C-alpha cells in the first residue's frame, strides 16, 4: 500500500453490512471505491487485502449477501472524507442498518519514549449505514440500549431496567418524529411524485 510506512495513522475499519439480494459485485466495488482508491489500488480485489496478513480484509459473501470488513490501511485525517463517501454509497445497497467501527491509531506515538504529558492521537469513530433513516436509528438505538443495560446491570437486575429502556425509546421516537416532520415540510405537493427518504415505519422497540 502506497506510503503506508510514512502514514501518520494506521486506520482500522471493522463491520458487517447486510446487502440487498440484488446487489452485484460490480455495485459493491463502486460503493467501496473511496476505500480501495485511497489504498492506492486499481480495483476492489486489488485493495481488499488488509495491511496486516492476519486480518481477513474486505470480503463479500454473495450467498449470504453480506459485506464483512476487517481491514487496515495507512492514512491521514483526509481518510474521513473517504468514509463519508463510502457510507453514502452503502446506504444505497444496504438491506438493513449496520454499524461500522473505525479506529485511528497514532503511528508516530511511542509509549515508552514519549514524555509523560504527551498522549497518542488515537481516535475512534462509529459510523452507521442503512437503507432508510429509520433503519439507521434502529441500529443506533439497539447499541445504546446494549451499552446502557450492560453498564447498569452492575447495579440493577435486568428486569428492573424496563423503564430505562422505555426512556431511550422515547428519545428515539422523538428524534424519528422530528425527522419525518422535517421531511414532510420539504415534500413536493401531492401528485407531483417524489417523497421523503426517511418515511415509513418507525423503528421497532423493546417493551
Q: 51: which DSSP letter?
A: S
111 and 174 part of one domain: no
Q: Name the residue range of residue 202's domain.
A: 132-207
Mean pLDDT of the region 142-146: 89
Q: Do both 157 and 124 map to the same domain?
A: no
Instruction: Domain count for the chain, please give it.
Output: 2
User: Angle at the Cα of 153 (from 150 to 158), degrees rounded to 5?
Assistant: 100
Segment 99-113 shows an average pLDDT of: 80
Whether residue 27 is found in the same domain as residue 101: yes
Q: Which residue among 85, 108, 131 closes a domain?
A: 131
pLDDT digits (tens, 9 = 90+) for 41-51: 999 999 999 99
Same structural domain, 17 and 116: yes
Q: Specify the residue for cell string 473517504.
A: 82
pTM > 0.85: no
Cell numbers 459510523 correspond to 127
**pLDDT on residue 139:** 93
CA 143 to chain centre: 12
The domain boundary, picked from 131, 151, 166, lies at 131
Confidence (pLDDT) at 35: 97
- Does the pLDDT of residue 63 top 50, yes or no? yes
| Structure-block grid coordinates of residue 180 | 419525518
pLDDT tens across 74-96, in order? 999 999 999 999 999 999 999 99
Beta strands 57-61 and 66-75 are antiparallel
Residues 156 and 126 in one domain: no
* Same domain, residue pair 23 and 112: yes
Q: Are strands 66-75 and 9-18 parallel, antiparallel or unpaired?
A: antiparallel
Amino acid at each position: 500500500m502506497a506510503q503506508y510506512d510514512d502514514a501518520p495513522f494506521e486506520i482500522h475499519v471493522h463491520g458487517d453490512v447486510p446487502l440487498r439480494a440484488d446487489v452485484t459485485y460490480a455495485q459493491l466495488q463502486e460503493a467501496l471505491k473511496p476505500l480501495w482508491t485511497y489504498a492506492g489500488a486499481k480495483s476492489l480485489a486489488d485493495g481488499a487485502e488488509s495491511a496486516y496478513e492476519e486480518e481477513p480484509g474486505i470480503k463479500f459473501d454473495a450467498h449470504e449477501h453480506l459485506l464483512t470488513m476487517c481491514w487496515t490501511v495507512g492514512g491521514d485525517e483526509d481518510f474521513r472524507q473517504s468514509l463519508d463517501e463510502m457510507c453514502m454509497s452503502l446506504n444505497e445497497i444496504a438491506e438493513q442498518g449496520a454499524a461500522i467501527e473505525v479506529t485511528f491509531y497514532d503511528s508516530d506515538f511511542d509509549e515508552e519514549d514519549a514524555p509523560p504529558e504527551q498522549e497518542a492521537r488515537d481516535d475512534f469513530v462509529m459510523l452507521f449505514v442503512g437503507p432508510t433513516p429509520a433503519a439507521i436509528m434502529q441500529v443506533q438505538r439497539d447499541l445504546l440500549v446494549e451499552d446502557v443495560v450492560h453498564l447498569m446491570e452492575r447495579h440493577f437486575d435486568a428486569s428492573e431496567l424496563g423503564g430505562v429502556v422505555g426512556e431511550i425509546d422515547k428519545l428515539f421516537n422523538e428524534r424519528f418524529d422530528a425527522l419525518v416532520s422535517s421531511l414532510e415540510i420539504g415534500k413536493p405537493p401531492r401528485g407531483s411524485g417524489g417523497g421523503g427518504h426517511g418515511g415509513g415505519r418507525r423503528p421497532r422497540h423493546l417493551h
